[in-house]
Structure 1
Amino acid sequence: MTVTLSAKPPKGLFIRTYGCQMNVYDSERIRDVLKPLGYAPVESPDAADLVVVNTCHIREKATEKVYSELGQLKRLKEASGGRMTIAVAGCVAQAEGEELIRRQPAVDLVLGPQAYHKLPEMIARASRAIGDRLETEFDTIEKFDALPKTREADGPTAFVSVQEGCDKFCTFCVVPYTRGAEISRRVDDIVAEVRSLAVQGVREITLLGQNVNAFHGAAPAIEGQGVWSLGQLCRHISKVGGIERIRYTTSHPRDMDDDLIAAHGDTPALMPFLHLPVQSGSDRILKAMNRGHTADAYRDIIARVRKARPDIAVASDFIVGFPGETDADFEATMQLVRDTGFAIAYSFKYSSRPGTPAAEMHGHVPEAVKDQRLQALQALLREQQSAFNAAQIGRTLPVLVTGKGRNPGQAHGRSPYLQAVHFDGPDHLTGQIVDVKIRAASLNSLTGELVSLREAAL
């Protein structure tokens, strides 16, 4: 008699991700870590055996969203008869681990951003009702060593973490307290991950770090001892077969060294797009923020990058209403924006985060004034973004096709400047870089037409 053993059905995994691109990457690696345990992604939390909420602690609203989400998950867990396991990961878990468990007892596991490689062990302990539910140690190197060296690609673009943590201690920011000190991965490990993604059809890599241009990773074994800078790493990755495009984010002006600027000019695969947060145009406020650079130093960096790569698009971040910010300080920020010209920028009202030096500063700006300043800044930034996009009309841009567009027969892709591009084209173009002539532009995207299928296939 032959006995046929049926495979166990996969356990449902649902991951909700808040915050930055690093969190998106971390969520992908959480999925990789849990795959050997039989977990497979599901579309909604009510179909999940395990729900992971990967959190962001940068702004107060992001944190409150987490608690709201946990309240909804508690009800789903009760409806499942307790079958569902709820884990909270990321920066809120790191900063408020014990408070999370106290405030929401339905949470089973809490783990910081440097501990998610321990999730399988934590799940095993929880199933036996032994051990601690909280894991918030700063084991960055251990985490990198424990992660699978290969990953499952999800389309023609991918994030790759190369650096974590922050030593800058900007007075408004919680990242040094939730992500730990700056640390870089070994070049060999990064390249092994990139090669595994290239084999699966990934064409564009975005290198990630809290201060990615602070990268100083151990050089490849064939090079002997020493460390490499981000510029050296970008040049090395550009030689990996199949990788056509390289980006990096997020960078800091203090780490924008000459070699990285030169790489923008001598490495064609390094895309002509630089996200370099400045936060303010006022030297007085920059000093209060402990940014370690002046507004003119930022202007000089941008000028040198544009000299190396004249077609580069520049993006930035701004905070308005920092404690003590006057009308003159805000006007200095507006002037820096006028002087620089941004392709895109992200701007926010200052949000006080407990435990940061800025939270204890005097001169907090009234909310109404913050609102007024933010609206004025965003209007100027929208004007610049619209002008940059409109300047692409009539140009033929190489577009990496990332998938289907919203409408039937439409394709979607990215320009070298990270703009969304829509055009009519067949499904099989996904993963190819094609020439698209831009016919129209809006604030957030471009529309064009494929130059020709024959040329696209070359």
Structure 2
Amino acid sequence: MSTAPSLKPPNPASLRSVAFLALGCRLNQAEESTYREHSLESGWKIVDYRESADIYIINTCAVTLEAERQSRQMIRQARRRNPAATVVVTGCAGRSLQGHPEMEGIADLYIPNLSKESLVEELHRFLGEAPHPQFERPFPPVHESRTTRLNLKVADGCFESCAFCIIPARRGTVRSLETDEIIKRLNLAHALGYQEVVLTAVHLGALGHEKNTHALDQLLERINSETEITAVRLSSIDPHEISPRMIEAMANSPRICRFLHIPIQSGSDTVLERMRRRDTQAGIRKTVLALKAAMPDISLTTDMIVGFPGETDQDFEASYQLMEELGIHKIHVFPFSVRPGTRAAFMKDKLPEAVIEARSQRLLELSHKQQSAWMQSWQGKTVKVLIETISKEGLGKGYTPHYLRVQVPGCSAEDHNRFLEVEVLDINPDRESVRGRRVHSASNVKR
């Protein structure tokens, strides 16, 4: 933990305003929910990050060099908005930003990742106050949250060593909540008004790994019988960590959303090995086919890295053909770029940018084609949509359990944070959304 001198004392505790910014992953967003609740319990007023505040808390991202650059930019913006503010920096980029020449004298307090859970307590100490005696809740009620969908942090850290990724070095190894505690927090989320919760972690499939348990399988089985939450969504999970038991639990549950994001990264066994991934093409195919057999309507998205060092034309074709064969509904394409501090940064046989760009474009075109076909498959069907925002004109927007983005005209304020049944009428693949006609409220419908 490191500090820089504050420019002047902040307002008294009862008058303080605090603003938050979470960059990058859902885990940072989940942590922001905790900081938001602890700030409310401290008697502080929450304001928009774009406003002048007494305290700014920035949760940074380091997944790419561009993410680190954006983190620096947002920290400098906070300082410019209020030169007298207390600027707090945490997150995966915190360690590298602390010694960066652009950051000299900008941030007041750096909180390392391993101390993030007690960030607001540390902030109280920095401000010369006694820490809050005990924070009551890990997240705020839905009306105090900035979103109707709660990202619930169930674990931190990762034990993998993928050649392209720096996050395990920044987040540490796996540290999981107990299953009983997760169930307790899901029920608390329901009591506080949330309709949907996303189970969030760096390495969700490793939940309970440090205790030698398959905690995710057990958790999914318990969610249906021991919670009242309407919808539970899983964040990213690697293909080899999707077990038959997990598939069965998902297929049998009216609460667990039939949507998975499975980062495949490559369809070539040679490239997967160079990436130090624990998946194989055959294993990926087997998992996806098993998911579709158990849940024909499941929605699947993935990440693919294009142009990894040493990737040949044959390797790329293997990736392209696997994506086409499996019919993945959306492919997030990441052209390879060197990330200092990773094994991949030292690899030879790096590809020309023109080759990477051409391959990326081909995969993006395939993604658009398959996503358009998936969206068209919903034409004329009735879906359940959680309304998250409503415009002044009454246009409601939200997502289905399958993560289809839907616009619904004719909504009123009382429809916010409610499930509506909507008939899908118009498809707009270019905007990745559909427009529908409201049928009736579906607040009590589980799927």
Same fold (TM over 0.5): yes
The letter for the 2-side match of 1:324 is G
- Following the alignment from structure 1 to structure 2, what is the Cα–Cα distance between the partners of residues 457 and 295? 41
Q: 1:400 to 1:127 in 2, by over 3 A?
A: closer
**Structure 1 residue 448 corresponds to structure 2 residue 433:** no
Shift of 1:9: 4.3
The answer as to whether partners of 2:299 and 2:403 remain within 8 angstroms in 1 is no
1:183 to 163, 166, 175: 175
The letter for the 1-side match of 2:123 is I
**Structure 1 residue 283 corresponds to structure 2 residue 288:** no
User: 2:62 aligns to what SS in structure 1?
Assistant: coil
- Give the alignment's TM-score, normalised by structure 1: 0.86
What does 1:261-410 correspond to in 2, within 5 Å? Answer: 261-404=247-390, 406=391, 408-410=393-395
- Following the alignment from structure 2 to structure 1, what is the Cα–Cα distance between the partners of residues 392 and 38? 36
> Which residue pairs with 1:151 in the alignment?
140
The letter for the 2-side match of 1:292 is R
The letter for the 1-side match of 2:173 is A
- Following the alignment from structure 1 to structure 2, what is the Cα–Cα distance between the partners of residues 66 and 282? 34
What does 1:155-174 correspond to in 2, within 5 Å? Answer: 156-174=148-166
1:32 to 33, 37, 43: 37
- Following the alignment from structure 2 to structure 1, what is the Cα–Cα distance between the partners of residues 43 and 443? 40
2:26 to 21, 25, 37: 21
The answer as to whether partners of 2:380 and 2:425 remain within 8 angstroms in 1 is yes
> Which residue pairs with 2:7 in the alignment?
none
User: 2:370 aligns to what SS in structure 1?
Assistant: helix
Q: 1:354 to 1:340 in 2, by over 3 A?
A: same
The letter for the 1-side match of 2:92 is C
Sequence identity percentage: 28
The answer as to whether partners of 2:236 and 2:260 remain within 8 angstroms in 1 is no
User: 1:451 aligns to what SS in structure 2?
Assistant: strand
> Which residue pairs with 1:195 in the alignment?
187
The letter for the 1-side match of 2:437 is E
Q: 1:218 to 1:197 in 2, by over 3 A?
A: farther
- Following the alignment from structure 1 to structure 2, what is the Cα–Cα distance between the partners of residues 311 and 22? 27
- Following the alignment from structure 2 to structure 1, what is the Cα–Cα distance between the partners of residues 138 and 61? 26
**Structure 1 residue 414 corresponds to structure 2 residue 387:** no
The answer as to whether partners of 2:239 and 2:262 remain within 8 angstroms in 1 is yes
The answer as to whether partners of 2:270 and 2:315 remain within 8 angstroms in 1 is yes
- Counting matched residue pairs gives 424
**Structure 1 residue 68 corresponds to structure 2 residue 93:** no
The letter for the 2-side match of 1:88 is V
- Following the alignment from structure 1 to structure 2, what is the Cα–Cα distance between the partners of residues 429 and 291? 44
Shift of 1:102: 7.4
User: 1:66 aligns to what SS in structure 2?
Assistant: helix
What does 1:119-268 correspond to in 2, within 5 Å? Answer: 119-127=119-127, 148-149=137-138, 151-153=140-142, 154=145, 156-216=148-208, 227=213, 229-268=215-254
- 1:231-280 CA distances to partner (integer Å, 9 max, x unpaired)? 22123223355412111111012211221111122112111111111001
The letter for the 1-side match of 2:435 is T
- Give the alignment's TM-score, normalised by structure 2: 0.88
Q: Where in structure 2 are there 5+ consecutive unaligned residues?
A: 1-11
The answer as to whether partners of 1:411 and 1:427 remain within 8 angstroms in 2 is no
- Following the alignment from structure 2 to structure 1, what is the Cα–Cα distance between the partners of residues 347 and 254? 45
The letter for the 2-side match of 1:244 is T
Q: Where in structure 1 are there 5+ consecutive unaligned residues?
A: 1-6, 130-144, 220-225
Larger RCO (alpha carbons 8 Å, 6+ apart): 2
User: 2:319 aligns to what SS in structure 1?
Assistant: helix
Q: 1:302 to 1:146 in 2, by over 3 A?
A: farther
Q: 1:342 to 1:101 in 2, by over 3 A?
A: same
The letter for the 1-side match of 2:37 is D
User: 2:187 aligns to what SS in structure 1?
Assistant: helix
Shift of 1:122: 3.2
The letter for the 1-side match of 2:141 is E
Q: 1:260 to 1:107 in 2, by over 3 A?
A: same
User: 2:367 aligns to what SS in structure 1?
Assistant: helix
- Following the alignment from structure 2 to structure 1, what is the Cα–Cα distance between the partners of residues 136 and 267? 40
User: 1:239 aligns to what SS in structure 2?
Assistant: helix
- Following the alignment from structure 2 to structure 1, what is the Cα–Cα distance between the partners of residues 159 and 312? 28
What does 1:67-86 correspond to in 2, within 5 Å? Answer: 67-78=72-83, 83-86=84-87
- Following the alignment from structure 1 to structure 2, what is the Cα–Cα distance between the partners of residues 391 and 381? 15
Q: 1:39 to 1:276 in 2, by over 3 A?
A: same
The letter for the 2-side match of 1:113 is N
Q: 1:302 to 1:106 in 2, by over 3 A?
A: same
The answer as to whether partners of 1:160 and 1:208 remain within 8 angstroms in 2 is yes
- Following the alignment from structure 1 to structure 2, what is the Cα–Cα distance between the partners of residues 242 and 430? 19
Q: 1:110 to 1:439 in 2, by over 3 A?
A: same
The answer as to whether partners of 1:271 and 1:416 remain within 8 angstroms in 2 is yes
